[in-house]
Amino acid sequence: MGLFGKEEDNANAEHHTESAGGPVLVGAIKLGTANSTITAGDKLIGTRSLVRKIYKSTAYERSTQVPDIIVGSTALEYEGLGELIYIVNKGVVKTKDAYYLVEYLFNHAKKFNKTEPKRMKIFAAAPSIAAENQKDELEELLKEFVEDVKIISEPLGSLIYHNWVTGVCADIGHGTTDFTLIHQKLAVKDEMGEVVADTIPMGGRDIDFAVQQSIKRKYGVEVPLEECMRIKEEYCGPYYENIVLGKEIPSLAENVITEEGIAEMIVIDKDIVASVNVIIDHIARKIVELIGKSPFSIRKHLYGAILLNGGISSIRGLEISIRKRVAELANLDLEQVNVILSQDPLHASILGAKKAAEIVFK
Ligand SMILES: Nc1ncnc2c1ncn2[C@@H]1O[C@H](COP(=O)(O)OP(=O)(O)OP(=O)(O)O)[C@@H](O)[C@H]1O
Ligand SMILES: [Mg+2]
């Protein structure tokens, strides 16, 4: 069976420990709606969380060079062939198909680690409210590859990476946003003793839909979601801040590819860039709700330390909108609320998970 995809590398610190039977490598893995990443010694290897399955019914089809299973970004290149599967949906890993992607990531990591995955101990970052059976399934899947696995919530990984001891982290990904609250390095609990955390089905994909609708309203053309995702990354990322601060944006003419496959020249205006606003209220409301469930004495500290992580925290100005909305909803002065964008939106959670693994597995 053929397997292939594309990878991106990123520098990071290496860490080995010794245990009986040779060196053990400690690392972390993250499976997300849009991206999945694994640590490989001093590197990070990541790819799109996609699997394409191609069923070949005839001898002729079987004789072609196209593999049966294609994973990662390459899966996008075979439009119309077979079935394209997103391996994570609403924060839940669809285990059977995820196997191919996990296998691909471990195979790549192995090249860099020079250690068999079976000698690895890893932390896997999962949504804050993954149900026990979902965590068990993820653990079971990963145990087929490694010596030991522990599950950590993704936003907790980000808080660890940023060395925060008290605060709220909203990890805004493609399909979901995950919330975790800590105080003095421990998970915050409500008056019933339950951990205060949540996941909502809201993220980058909702902005992509809003971009799509905005273009359709204005130009009457249907632009595929993949193209809307690109527009979001290229234009909302740098220019949303202008909208929030009431500044003009430069005139941005752009060729977009429509559903019909035709290039159409459109102007990326302020309405399209403002599509980011569709997520603001949902995220701010959940932050206020969760802080409201926390012990009264620490709420002030939590409002003062809100961290935004995940790919969407690459959008500059997002912290300004969320801060304003949180202050409004909680009836606080702006000065009492602090919202900060991640120092490494796409990697903080996995790097924090790795840091936790180094402490626990040492
Ligand atoms: N520079 C950027 N500007 C705007 N958006 C970006 C940028 N870089 C990435 N994104 C968006 O971030 C999202 C991916 O983020 P991330 O990798 O954190 O998601 P995920 O973990 O795969 O998803 P989930 O947490 O929902 O499972 C996508 O919507 C992507 O388009
Ligand atoms: Mg994520």
297 alpha carbon – ligand 1 mean position (Å): 34
Coil, helix or strand at residue 202: coil
Among 276, 305, 327, give the residue marking a domain's end.
276
171 alpha carbon – ligand 2 mean position (Å): 6
CA diameter of the chain: 70
From the centroid of its chain, how far is CA 20? 35
Beta carbon of 232 within 6 Å of any ligand 1 atom:
yes
pLDDT value, residue 257: 87
pLDDT value, residue 339: 98
pLDDT tens digits, one per residue of 44-58: 999 999 999 988 888
Beta bridge partners of 211: none
- Same structural domain, 95 and 140: yes
Indicate which CATH number applies to the domain containing 331: 3.30.420.40
Instruction: Kindly state whether residue 294 falls inside one of the protein's structural domains.
Output: yes
- Same structural domain, 35 and 177: no
Nearest 5°: CA angle at 16, between 34 and 154? 30
Beta carbon of 204 within 6 Å of any ligand 1 atom:
yes
199 alpha carbon – ligand 2 mean position (Å): 11
pLDDT grade for 11, boundaries at 50, 70 and 90:
very low
Q: Which two tokens stand for residue 313?
A: 């925290």
- The helices-and-strands tally (H runs, E runs) of the chain is 12, 20
**Residue with CA closest to ligand 1 atom 21:** 32
Beta carbon of 317 within 6 Å of any ligand 1 atom:
no
- Same structural domain, 142 and 173: no
Beta bridge partners of 257: 263
Q: Distance between CA atoms of 362 and 348, rounded to whole angstroms?
A: 21
The boundaries of the domain holding residue 262 are: 205-276
Judging by DSSP bridges, how do beta strands 148-153 and 120-126 pair with one another? parallel
Beta carbon of 344 within 6 Å of any ligand 1 atom:
no
Instruction: Kindly state whether residue 123 falls inside one of the protein's structural domains.
Output: yes
DSSP state string for 259-311: TTS-EEEEE--HHHHGGGHHHHHHHHHHHHHHHHHS-HHHHHHHHT-EEEESG
From the centroid of its chain, how far is CA 83? 23
pLDDT tens digits, one per residue of 130-173: 778 888 999 999 999 999 999 999 999 999 999 999 999 999 99
Beta carbon of 237 within 6 Å of any ligand 1 atom:
yes
Domain count, the chain: 3
Task: For residue 51, give every residue at least 6 positions away whose Cβ sits within 8 Å of its Cβ, in sequence order, or none.
Answer: 69, 70, 71, 75, 84, 85, 87, 97, 98, 100, 101
Instruction: Kindly state whether residue 27 falls inside one of the protein's structural domains.
Output: yes
pLDDT value, residue 259: 85
- Same structural domain, 58 and 126: yes
Nearest 5°: CA angle at 50, between 148 and 94? 55
- Same structural domain, 19 and 74: yes
Beta carbon of 151 within 6 Å of any ligand 1 atom:
no
